[in-house]
Chains A and B, each alone.
Chain A
Amino acid sequence: MFADYSMSELGAIFAMQGFAGLILFSVFVLMALGLAIIFGQMGVINMAHGEFMILGAYVTYLVSNFFAAYLPALFSAYFFLAMILAFIASGALGLFVEWAMIRHLYKRPLDTLLATWGLSLILQQLYRSIFGAREVGVSIPDWMMGSMPVTDLIEIPINGIFVMVLAVGISLAVYVMMFRSGWGKQVRAINQNRVMAGAVGINTEWTDRMTYGIGCGVAGVAGSAFTMIGSTGPTAGQLYIVDTFLVVVFGGAASLLGTIASAFSISQAQSIMEFFLSGSMAKVLTLLIIVGILMIRPQGLFAMKLRK
């Protein structure tokens, strides 16, 4: 396979391939963080996660249209505002959904699967009625769509760097919130023992609502960022949901660190195998390995030690 190439060419390809793996890692982290909060910390199997992401993408679409029409001078910077609005919109929808639906289901975690799946169908149809069945084209500012030449042979996609920076930023933010803030302590307390947490004076209802809202908001930001690399349509959220659950479950549902470790290992395995094998085969092998590992370690890579 490599006989005809010089060392420098091979070096460049492998560097770019390593980078492709890192981009995939960042994409997985962005996808999974929101779900890791909701599924991992609250035990809610949120099948509508993809639709919360797509809400963020549609918000980005609206903001880009607004800037193109009214503020063309600032178009190249609209994306930052779009991400903030995506967080607010998805988060607000999350708060509402938690209040209307999820809070009645905390004692029946399996039913959340059905309820949120229904929610995802409702949201898809809502998007279809509002934005039409076709995918919408989101215009991305030019500076984000090119590539950056590092050497003569190596070119790095700028949107990839953007996604990486964003993934690191959001991971840090979530880490600080979960492990360095009072709210994080409350979330973890509720996760360990809901009744006891309530008894010591934690407002569990409020904390649950905020947790769900923040998880959905993070999904919205991810969706906003993915307009750079993927499609925006009523059913586009479905493209991400399987990978997202895979990453979270494989990492060990309750552990944020596990989510990141699992995103890293899955993305590297997949991107390396995609390079040497064909696309479908890479996917099959990745899934097989994950199934194998989960059979040996059903609790995932990183499991919290709990007294049951």
Chain B
Amino acid sequence: MTDETSKKPNSGVNRRAVLAGGTALTASLFLPKQLKAAEYPTAEINTTGLAVTDDTVTIGILHSITGTMAISETGSVQAEKLAIEQINAQGGILGRKIEYIQEDGGSDWPTFAEKAKKLLVNDKVASVMGCWTSASRKAVLPVFEQYNGFLYYPTFYEGLEQSPNVIYTGQEATQQIIAGLDWVAKEKGAKSFYLLGSDYIWPRTSNKIARKHIENYLDGAKVVGEEYYPLGHTQFNSVINKIRLKKPDVIYAIVVGGSNVAFYKQLKAAGIDMTKESPLVLTISVTEDEIRGIGGENIEGAYACMKYFQSLTNDNNEAFVKSFKEMWGDDMVIGDVTQAAYLGPWLWKAAVEKAGSFDVDKVRAATPGIELTSAPEGYVKVHDNHHLWSKTRVGLAKADGQYDVVFETADLVEPDPFPEGYQ
């Protein structure tokens, strides 16, 4: 509501800003990204009192670096810091160096909300890279909407959300699920599926979409079982016996966290050799990061479906992997979410330069249609619904903990956070 009323008197300013943004973009195409801060007086590009000075702009990083989720969120923090450093090395944004304030969500959702408020209200950060679990995102959402902050959220998630204050740089559920199911049905002739997951919103929503797709769109395919286990469950022998009884072609697994390790170790110990593909294991929750905990030899032969694998061969990715390892150490691995987190600062930079302003309303208006040709995953583009167009890929897990990419969609997959017919 307040958005609408505040926009109208500003519309003149808006147009000028867009024009300025236009010239900035052309300039940035021809001159290698050296925008002079003097060309963008602080008073003009920051009309809402954000933390922008004549030579710096401050953003927030909000992830868990302590608690259960630290395992997963560390990679995102590292990728975001790498992107910020690279942007600064190129001259920053509108001639201003990015500085960041890092806050720890502590794997605790109310803490996330509190820290988000601190970043937006006390620190006046221009944007925030952060959150990992859906629960933490849901916790900060009201804060971002109330104080008109701008959040870049990196994780693949269940969809069913589209906030004007969030850009979702990971895939929503249909992007990740449908292509993989089509592939396994077509290439492997899969007819029967056993759906398995940890018991919370992401696996349940994802399996719901998977079930609808299997039953309505795949010829003659059926779901022979669907099961959920509490987060942190460590004993999977019973379900493995059940799977043996049902003899599915595919085990569709969305197990997360510590349970993941237990599930794959016990699957292997039970004599189910995943390399024989009977049953074939297809997962959407195991990135290279998780394999480090599971052990490559325990998951060899399983397939994963997501948008990015560290082993992708293209120039962008090779450069990205190289600089990531230079910054954080040779033994680092990069998973899907880490790459998506890396896109956040770059997408924000592109949007700010297009808008010619740090004002959140102008950046938001400039965001749809932003393209990145330098993304490690390849070309991506922001959809009107604040998600990214991206390719979906299937990888085959190897004993060394990396994936071989065995399939990739021909075109970018359109994000569809509110899929009709799948709810």
Where the two chains meet, the residues of A that have a C-beta atom closer than 8 Å to any C-beta of B are: 5, 9, 13, 16-17, 19-21, 23-24, 27, 125, 128, 132-140, 145-147, 149, 155, 157-160, 226, 228-236, 238-240, 270-271, 274-275, 278-280, 283
Most buried by B among A238, A240, A279: A279
Q: A137-B293, A279-B233 are in contact. Are A13 and B241 (CB under 8 A)?
A: yes
Q: CB distance B232 to A238 under 8 Å?
A: yes
> CB-nearest residue of chain B relative to A18?
B241
> CB-nearest residue of chain B relative to A15?
B241
B residues 253-310 near A (Cβ < 8 Å) are: 258, 260-262, 265-266, 268-271, 289, 291-298
Q: CB distance A229 to B265 under 8 Å?
A: yes
Q: CB distance B241 to A231 under 8 Å?
A: no
Q: B238 within 8 Å of A by Cβ?
A: yes
Give the residues in chain A near B291, CB-CB below 8 Å.
Answer: 137
| CB-contact partner of A137 in B242, B258, B294, under 8 A | B294
Please measure, in the bound complex, the distance between the C-alpha atom of A17 and the C-alpha atom of B243, giving whole angstroms. Answer: 12
Q: CB distance A278 to B227 under 8 Å?
A: yes
| CB-contact partner of A136 in B199, B237, B293, B297, under 8 A | B293
Please measure, in the bound complex, the distance between the C-alpha atom of A149 and the C-alpha atom of B265, giving whole angstroms. Answer: 18
Q: A157-B270, A158-B269, A228-B265 are in contact. Are A133 and B237 (CB under 8 A)?
A: no
| CB-contact partner of A235 in B67, B241, B268, B292, under 8 A | B67
Q: CB distance A230 to B244 under 8 Å?
A: no
If over half of B's interface residues share one DSSP class (helix, strand or loop), that class is named, otherwise mixed; here it is: helix
Q: A133-B65, A137-B295 are in contact. Are A27 and B71 (CB under 8 A)?
A: no
A2 to chain B minimum Cβ distance, whole angstroms, is 8
Give the residues in chain B near A283, CB-CB below 8 Å.
Answer: 230, 233
Q: CB distance A133 to B70 under 8 Å?
A: yes
Q: B234 within 8 Å of A by Cβ?
A: yes
Please measure, in the bound complex, the distance between the C-alpha atom of A157 and the C-alpha atom of B67, giving whole angstroms. Answer: 33
Q: CB distance B238 to A271 under 8 Å?
A: yes
Please measure, in the bound complex, the distance between the C-alpha atom of A226 and the C-alpha atom of B261, giving whole angstroms. Answer: 11
How many inter-chain contacts with C-beta < 8 Å in the A-B complex?
139
Please measure, in the bound complex, the distance between the C-alpha atom of A149 and the C-alpha atom of B272, giving whole angstroms. Answer: 12
Q: CB distance A160 to B237 under 8 Å?
A: yes
Q: A20-B241, A27-B235, A275-B242 are in contact. Are A145 and B66 (CB under 8 A)?
A: no
Please measure, in the bound complex, the distance between the C-alpha atom of A214 and the C-alpha atom of B88, giving whole angstroms. Answer: 56
Q: CB distance B241 to A17 under 8 Å?
A: yes
Please measure, in the bound complex, the distance between the C-alpha atom of A160 and the C-alpha atom of B240, giving whole angstroms. Answer: 14
Give the residues in chain A near B262, CB-CB below 8 Å.
Answer: 229-231
Q: B183 within 8 Å of A by Cβ?
A: no
Q: A155-B270, A275-B238 are in contact. Are A231 and B260 (CB under 8 A)?
A: yes
Q: CB distance B71 to A160 under 8 Å?
A: no
> CB-nearest residue of chain A relative to B244?
A13
Q: B40 within 8 Å of A by Cβ?
A: no
Q: CB distance B271 to A17 under 8 Å?
A: no
Please measure, in the bound complex, the distance between the C-alpha atom of A137 and the C-alpha atom of B289, giving whole angstroms. Answer: 11
5 A-B pairs, CB-CB below 8 angstroms? A135-B258, A229-B265, A229-B269, A275-B241, A279-B199
Q: CB distance A280 to B237 under 8 Å?
A: no
Please measure, in the bound complex, the distance between the C-alpha atom of A240 and the C-alpha atom of B259, giving whole angstroms. Answer: 12
Please measure, in the bound complex, the distance between the C-alpha atom of A149 and the C-alpha atom of B271, giving whole angstroms. Answer: 9
Q: B229 within 8 Å of A by Cβ?
A: yes
> CB-nearest residue of chain B relative to A228?
B265
Give the residues in chain B near A279, CB-CB below 8 Å.
Answer: 199, 227-230, 233, 238-239
Q: CB distance A239 to B238 under 8 Å?
A: no
A15 to chain B minimum Cβ distance, whole angstroms, is 10
A219 to chain B minimum Cβ distance, whole angstroms, is 16
B residues 196-226 near A (Cβ < 8 Å) are: 199, 226
Q: A139-B295, A145-B298, A235-B67 are in contact. Are A240 and B234 (CB under 8 A)?
A: yes
Please measure, in the bound complex, the distance between the C-alpha atom of A91 and the C-alpha atom of B65, giving whole angstroms. Answer: 30
> CB-nearest residue of chain B relative to A157?
B269
Please measure, in the bound complex, the distance between the C-alpha atom of A279 and the C-alpha atom of B238, giving whole angstroms. Answer: 9
Q: Given contacts A137-B296, A147-B271, could you give 13 more A-B pairs where the C-beta distance is less than 8 Å?
A: A24-B235, A128-B70, A132-B74, A137-B291, A139-B297, A145-B269, A157-B269, A230-B262, A231-B258, A236-B258, A275-B241, A280-B199, A280-B228
Give the residues in chain B near A128, CB-CB below 8 Å.
Answer: 66, 70
B238 to chain A minimum Cβ distance, whole angstroms, is 4
B residues 30-71 near A (Cβ < 8 Å) are: 65-68, 70-71
B83 to chain A minimum Cβ distance, whole angstroms, is 20
B169 to chain A minimum Cβ distance, whole angstroms, is 22
Q: CB distance A157 to B271 under 8 Å?
A: yes
Q: CB distance B232 to A239 under 8 Å?
A: yes
Q: CB distance A231 to B261 under 8 Å?
A: yes
Q: CB distance B258 to A125 under 8 Å?
A: no
Q: B1 within 8 Å of A by Cβ?
A: no
Q: B245 within 8 Å of A by Cβ?
A: yes
Q: CB distance B238 to A20 under 8 Å?
A: yes
> CB-nearest residue of chain B relative to A272?
B238
Q: A5-B245, A278-B227 are in contact. Are A135 and B232 (CB under 8 A)?
A: no
Please measure, in the bound complex, the distance between the C-alpha atom of A27 and the C-alpha atom of B233, giving whole angstroms. Answer: 13
> CB-nearest residue of chain B relative to A13?
B245
Q: A20-B237, A271-B237, A274-B238 are in contact. Are A145 and B268 (CB under 8 A)?
A: yes
Q: CB distance A146 to B228 under 8 Å?
A: no
A126 to chain B minimum Cβ distance, whole angstroms, is 12
Please measure, in the bound complex, the distance between the C-alpha atom of A20 and the C-alpha atom of B242, giving whole angstroms. Answer: 11
Q: A230-B262, A231-B260, A240-B234 are in contact. Are A135 and B71 (CB under 8 A)?
A: yes
Give the residues in chain B near A133, CB-CB below 8 Å.
Answer: 65-66, 70-71, 74
B65-98 interface bits toward A, Cβ cutoff 8 Å, 1 = contact, 0 = none: 1111011001000000000000000000000000
Give the residues in chain A near B70, CB-CB below 8 Å.
Answer: 128, 133, 234
Please measure, in the bound complex, the distance between the C-alpha atom of A278 and the C-alpha atom of B199, giving whole angstroms. Answer: 11
> CB-nearest residue of chain B relative to A243?
B234
